[in-house]
Every structure is written in structure tokens, then in C-alpha cells.
């Protein structure tokens, strides 16, 4: 219960942050990705602001084995830079550049009642489903 | 030469919004001991382990509910979606498949990964940002769409 409440809080603050920052608006994101046009550096400031806070949080977390609510710290153990990581990142980046949506802003825009965002999110979930199907059939083979 | 779009550039709201995103990731990390990676939280629902569903849904309810909470205080800023439906579907599929293969998106690799100084996340972030820059260049400047 505590775990889910903290998750709800984190999701809500994350979403509010995306709205404040302007990143729930795909045109703003595309303005950042369009370096050859008139460039809007705002997204870099969003990342900068988030990472400033994040660096402190991860430094604190690194010294702990349990979270402040008493849960085990689950940190990613994989440090390999492999083909999956890079090809996955490139694939995601192409999709990001086409519509200006990454997963978080897509979900926030869906919550704002944007039909087009709902279509994007439905396709994104379908893409994640395709990944699951391929992974499972691979695991069987 | 890079030309800055001064009329669109919003450094202060971007920074404040970014700090809020950082606070969200920090609270998720320090309270629950987890990385706030949105593609992972959503994608994990498609192959859920026992006891692993409620908190994922709670996070997503918070995220999707943010605009509803926002309008209690003030009007939502504009959301301009210029891509057409076919483009949105292709984009969604690519983002869904790509974030799962690459184990993360802008939140997990970009915000959290860079905050924990992970080289793996840096490589992922450079990959999706690089692909994003190239894609927008091709669409806007080569195809002229």
C-alpha cells in the first residue's frame, strides 16, 4: 500500500513536471530536436534541472541498502553497452522524432484528453506487446 | 550555425519542470528503491509478476491524472500534435518496441541513468537523441514535411 501510494505520488509529480516544462507538447520537443531549424534548447534545461536533483538522490541512494520506506534498493546491474541497447535506442529515437512523443509526455497528453495522444499510446503499447511476443517465442526456441 | 528560437525558448519553466521531474524520480528512488523509468513501468504490465501490478498502475494513474489535477489550479498549456494518424501509429510502434529493446526511455536512461552516471544509459541517451535529431532533420529539411 505504501509502495503504491509513493508510486502514485511520483507519477503525479512527474506528470506535473512535464506539464510545467512544456514537454507534454510535442511541438516543443520537436523544436529541440530540430537543430537545423530555429532551435529551442528548452528540453536541455528540463534534463539539466531533473539531473541536478537526480544526482543528489542517487548519491544518497548509493549509500543505502534499504529505501526510506524499508524496501530493497533495486538498481540496474547491467552495465553492458550491447547491440540491443543501441538498436533499441535508435528505434525509439526515430519514433520520437516522427511525432515528438516519448512515453511520459504521450501518457500526460492522453490524460489531457488528446485523441491523437491516445492513438500514439495505443500504438506504443502494441509495440511493447510485439516486443513481449518476440521475446517469449525466442525464449522457447 | 545553430540559430536559437528565442521566442519559443522557455528556460525558467523548463528548469522548474525539470526539477519537478527530478523530485519525482528522487522520491520514487528514495521511498521505493526503484528507477522511475516510464517505458519499463508501463511495459512491465504486459508480463506482470505477482504483486507487481498495483504500484505500476498507481504510477500511471498519477502520470495520466496530472492534467486533471493541474486544471484544478489553472488552464493547461497548449498541446500541439501536428503529426497525422498514420505517423502517430508508426511513431508509437517504434517507441514501444525501441524502448523495450533498449531497456528504457528519456526517463529511465535520460534522467535516472545520467543521474547515476551510468555509461550504459549515456550510450542509450546518445542513441535516441542522435536518432531523434536525424529523423527531424530528414522529415523537416530533406522531405520538407
Give chain A positions within 8 Å (CB) of B144: none
Handedness of CA B48, B52, B57, B62 (dihedral sign): negative
Nearest partner of A97 among B9, B37, B128, judged by Cα: B128
pLDDT tens across B96-120, in order? 999 999 999 999 999 999 999 999 9
Q: State the pLDDT at residue B50.
A: 83
Q: What is the mean pLDDT of chain A?
A: 96
CB pairs under 8 A between A and B: 495
Residue boundaries of the structural domains of chain A: 2-140
Give chain B positions within 8 Å (CB) of A92: 94-95, 98-99, 102, 105, 128, 131
Q: Is some CB atom of chain A closer than 8 A to the CB atom of B31?
A: yes
Q: Residue B51: pLDDT band by 50, 70, 90 thresholds?
A: confident
3-state secondary structure of A66: strand
Give chain A positions within 8 Å (CB) of B137: 34-36
State how far the Cα of B102 lies from the Cα of B116, in Å rounded to an integer.
17
Q: Is some CB atom of chain B closer than 8 A to the CB atom of A33?
A: yes
Q: Residue A130: pLDDT band by 50, 70, 90 thresholds?
A: very high
What is the rounded average pLDDT of the residues A47-52?
98
In chain B, which among 113-132 make CB contacts under 8 A with chain A?
Answer: 114-120, 123-132
Contact B60, A10 (CB under 8 A): no
Q: Residue B1: pLDDT band by 50, 70, 90 thresholds?
A: confident
Handedness of CA B10, B16, B20, B26 (dihedral sign): positive
What are the backbone angles phi and psi of residue B115, rounded to the nearest 5°? -65, -30
Q: State the pLDDT at residue B2.
A: 84
What ipTM, to 2 d.p.?
0.96
State how far the Cα of A54 lies from the Cα of A67, in Å rounded to an integer.
15
Q: State the pLDDT at residue B48.
A: 83
What is the rounded average pLDDT of the residues B116-136?
98
Q: Is some CB atom of chain B closer than 8 A to the CB atom of A81?
A: yes
Share of chain B above pLDDT 70, in %: 100
Q: Which of B11, B48, B66, B70 best tests the A interface by mutation, with the highest count of A CBs <10 A?
A: B66
What is the rounded average pLDDT of the residues B68-85?
97
pLDDT tens across A88-115, in order? 999 999 999 999 999 999 999 999 999 9
Amino acid at each position: 500500500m505504501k509502495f503504491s501510494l509513493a508510486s502514485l505520488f511520483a507519477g503525479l509529480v512527474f506528470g506535473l513536471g512535464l506539464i510545467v516544462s512544456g514537454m507534454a507538447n510535442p511541438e516543443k520537443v520537436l523544436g529541440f530536436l530540430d537543430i537545423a531549424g530555429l532551435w529551442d534548447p528548452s528540453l536541455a534545461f528540463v534534463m539539466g534541472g531533473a539531473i541536478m536533483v537526480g544526482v543528489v538522490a542517487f548519491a544518497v541512494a548509493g549509500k543505502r541498502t534499504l529505501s526510506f520506506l524499508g524496501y530493497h534498493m533495486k538498481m540496474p546491474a547491467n552495465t553492458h553497452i550491447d547491440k540491443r541497447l543501441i538498436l533499441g535506442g535508435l528505434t525509439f529515437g526515430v519514433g520520437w522524432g516522427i511525432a515528438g512523443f516519448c512515453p511520459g509526455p504521450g501518457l500526460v497528453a492522453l490524460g489531457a484528453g488528446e485523441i491523437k495522444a491516445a492513438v500514439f499510446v495505443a500504438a506504443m503499447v502494441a509495440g511493447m506487446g510485439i516486443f513481449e511476443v518476440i521475446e517469449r517465442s525466442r525464449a522457447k526456441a | 550555425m545553430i540559430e536559437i528560437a528565442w521566442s519559443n525558448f522557455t528556460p525558467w519553466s523548463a528548469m522548474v519542470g525539470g526539477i519537478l521531474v527530478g523530485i519525482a524520480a528522487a522520491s520514487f528512488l528514495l521511498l521505493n528503491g526503484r528507477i522511475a523509468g516510464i517505458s519499463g513501468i508501463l511495459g512491465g504490465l504486459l508480463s506482470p509478476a505477482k504483486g507487481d501490478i498495483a504500484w505500476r498502475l498507481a504510477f500511471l494513474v498519477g502520470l495520466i491524472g496530472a492534467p486533471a489535477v493541474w486544471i484544478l489550479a489553472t488552464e493547461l498549456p497548449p498541446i500541439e500534435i501536428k503529426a497525422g494518424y498514420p505517423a502517430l501509429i508508426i511513431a508509437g510502434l517504434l517507441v514501444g518496441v525501441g524502448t523495450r529493446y533498449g531497456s528504457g526511455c528519456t526517463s529511465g536512461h535520460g534522467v535516472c541513468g545520467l543521474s547515476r552516471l551510468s555509461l550504459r544509459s549515456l550510450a542509450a541517451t546518445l542513441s535516441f537523441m542522435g536518432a531523434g535529431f536525424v529523423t527531424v532533420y530528414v522529415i523537416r529539411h530533406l522531405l520538407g514535411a
